[in-house]
Structure 1
Amino acid sequence: MPDLTLSVLDLVPVRRGQTSADAVAASVALAQRADELGLHRYWLAEHHNMPSVASTNPPVLLGVLAGRTRRIRLGSGGVMLPNHAPFVIAEQFAALEAAAPGRIDLGIGRAPGSDPVITALLRSSGHTSDVDAFPNHVRDIEALLGAEGAGLRLATGEQYTVRATPAAQGTPDLWLLGSSDYSAALAAQLGLPYVFAHHFSGEGTERALDLYRSQFQPSEHLSAPRTFLTANVVAADTAAEAERLALPQLQHMARLRTGTPLTALDTVEDAEAARLTEPQQDLVAGMSARWFIGEAGDVADRLTAFAQRFGVEEVMVSPSAGASAAEPIDRAPARERTLELLAARLPQGVLAAA
């Protein structure tokens, strides 16, 4: 088993007392720390109209990070394609690739990333993307990003070429993301890299990876299956401190899954004093068992065993530690500390090339 490569997934969390500007500043600082530590990728998720999540527009935020980091790969984890016109996404990521050559990943997902009302708003400007058209739109983006562009045949019979950027020197790495068999099968069919969202529920991972690997068809871009996994992680100097830091995010997810109206994330102190319903307590206990929460050495060992179990060389961690009320409003010290502790224990992994 080669050394373990670490990457980061960020939703730009917003806690009580923070503005969106504060949350973005904290994520910029986190990305810069990941860059300094030698981690491989930094991806931003797409979510909408959530009081605890500021990663509504990955391409815009990635442009900010491209100017504030040095070497780390930057990408979307992912752009929710049914919300957007494929040509717009291709143009955005071609521009990012031009600004940060060789550092851009375009991760594409099929879910809307929000509720039906927000999905309708996103499509009201005339976007033609929808879930049923997803495979064709993935192919369109792949063609549009290439140097030769995509060919359209007009009603007059004339051939018309469309390019995402006039003179591409390189193209972003295109990844398919998913939490079901559908995306695994499609990634295999198209010969694309694939990421299974293990951090969602921790279920179905083995089946999805087996399906992807067994059905993979080589393409001009990729000759063999290429994949990694995601995981929710809280590492600290002691197990007790890690469990305390994990409470705000765990309780927030329990409220989400039981239909409780959401707010910004609690501070650690508020989470310690919170009262949950019995179903919410059960959800917290179940998630705690699946997440990687604990003393840093133990978490590093468990992540390595996790990677070995599923035959991957890279794990993308979502650093889920909460913040105390007294900590700087524009930083996320415990999230940064999670990355620092893991980098200290997996130095070969964080410097390895995926």
Structure 2
Amino acid sequence: MTMTTPALSVLDLVPVRTGQTSAQAIASSMQLAQHADALGLTRYWFAEHHNMPSVASTTPPVLIAAAAARTQRIRVGSGGVMLPNHAPLIVAEQFAALEALAPGRIDLGIGRAPGSDPVITHLLRQSGTTGDVDRFPAHVQDIAAMVQSDGATVRFTSGGEYGVKATPAASGSPTIWLLGSSDYSAQLAAAQGLPYVFANHFAGVGLERALDLYRSQFRPSETLDAPLTFLTANVVAAPSAEEAEARALPQLRAMARLRGNKPMRPLETVDEAQRGAAEHPDAQEQTLIDAMRQRWLIGEGAEVRSSLAAFAAQHGVDEIMVSPVAGAYDGEPLDAATGRAQTLDLLVA
């Protein structure tokens, strides 16, 4: 594949750093969504995570509605809604309403992971009805049908039928994407003829096999006649490689703590992360950081742009969704995402 500049999109976990309130973190993400819209980026997705001190993206539909109201043309969506935590009808109704509010601009990315620890997973699924992972393929199909103007038909063992619509009179429907980092998600997306996104920003392995399975097993559907996919990547760009490495450090240390099963806390500032690394060196943590640094795209703007183009060409995709994980220095505004906005600026320069 010829190496050309891929279309760019954004994945936002709404990071929360030291001294920052949830309100300030969300305000900074709304500003970043507006900035991405002004830069001409393709889409802006919010993740779903629960009970994490450094992540305020807990309810994607609420954040999508807020971002859609503040932007003009960029697609907004979920990356993704963790379906085992939710009743399919509720998800369908939420995204049908979002589609009515922002016609032609809504993406419904659906995932299968819990997005949290076992305790929070239990609290999310106390009714016992939403966590049936074995029914995940059927639930995806149900949502895809319910958001259409004709709705879905529920058939009972007695032979009776019951019609279900996510909204009374749909004039359009959100685009459904299946998300994952395993063979299972790739094969399911292929079998149902859905667009597919491999979560490369946290998986690290299995990318080539998943893409091959998706493309080779894809079955055309009413909504998609050929495989459609893009990839995610953790990215930090800055005017210099030194600044990029510094701004990457808070998120690298946070992910190392997570993978080392250490207690989570709000993201450090760059200054805090540098002091912590210098004053309390940890060999195991450093090993994890070094491994992640090899997979993330960190560097001066032109270097990262070139790396993104090469990454897209290598895997045969024409869009990359970046998770701009640049941290903040002490003194930078709490209601703005200075480093993350800078990353986006440099990617489109």
Equivalents in 2 of 1:90, 1:299: separation in Å? 37
Deviation of 1:130 (Å): 2.0
Deviation of 1:125 (Å): 4.0
Deviation of 1:45 (Å): 0.4
**Map of 2:251 onto structure 1:** 249
Amino acid at match of 1:292: L
Structure 2: 5+ residue runs without aligned partners? none
Equivalents in 2 of 1:94, 1:240: separation in Å? 45
**Map of 1:22 onto structure 2:** 24
Q: Contact 1:129/1:137 (CA < 8 Å) preserved in 2?
A: no
Alignment of 1:213-252 (within 5 A): 213-252=215-254
Alignment of 1:133-212 (within 5 A): 133-153=135-155, 157-212=159-214
Alignment of 1:58-97 (within 5 A): 58-97=60-99
**Map of 1:119 onto structure 2:** 121
Amino acid at match of 1:322: G
Deviations 1:130-186 (A, max 9, x none): 211100100110111111111123577543211000001100000000000000000
Deviation of 1:192 (Å): 0.3
Amino acid at match of 1:317: V
Asked if 1:321 is matched to 2:326, the reply is yes
**Map of 1:351 onto structure 2:** none
Equivalents in 1 of 2:131, 2:151: separation in Å? 19
**Map of 1:348 onto structure 2:** none
**Map of 2:314 onto structure 1:** 309
Deviation of 1:97 (Å): 0.2
Equivalents in 1 of 2:135, 2:85: separation in Å? 12
Equivalents in 1 of 2:9, 2:108: separation in Å? 15
Deviation of 1:124 (Å): 1.2
**Map of 1:56 onto structure 2:** 58
Equivalents in 1 of 2:31, 2:264: separation in Å? 26
Equivalents in 2 of 1:224, 1:152: separation in Å? 29
Between 1:121-130 and 1:136-145, the stretch displaced more is 121-130
Equivalents in 2 of 1:116, 1:255: separation in Å? 18
Deviation of 1:325 (Å): 1.5
SS at match of 1:77: strand
TM-score normalised by structure 1 residue count: 0.95
**Map of 1:31 onto structure 2:** 33
Structure 1: 5+ residue runs without aligned partners? 345-354
Amino acid at match of 2:148: G
- 1:336–1:161 distance in 2 versus 1, CA, 3 Å: same
Equivalents in 1 of 2:73, 2:271: separation in Å? 36
Equivalents in 1 of 2:184, 2:22: separation in Å? 34
**Map of 1:337 onto structure 2:** 342
**Map of 1:6 onto structure 2:** 8
Equivalents in 2 of 1:54, 1:276: separation in Å? 29
Deviation of 1:129 (Å): 3.9
SS at match of 1:217: coil
Alignment of 1:257-336 (within 5 A): 257-274=259-276, 275-336=280-341
- 1:286–1:29 distance in 2 versus 1, CA, 3 Å: same
TM-score normalised by structure 2 residue count: 0.97
Amino acid at match of 1:49: N
Equivalents in 2 of 1:276, 1:13: separation in Å? 24
Deviation of 1:201 (Å): 3.3
Aligned-residue CA RMSD (Å): 1.1
Equivalents in 2 of 1:317, 1:18: separation in Å? 23
Equivalents in 2 of 1:316, 1:231: separation in Å? 6
Amino acid at match of 2:274: E
Amino acid at match of 2:201: H
Equivalents in 1 of 2:152, 2:235: separation in Å? 41
SS at match of 1:55: coil
Amino acid at match of 1:293: I
SS at match of 2:348: helix
Deviation of 1:226 (Å): 0.2
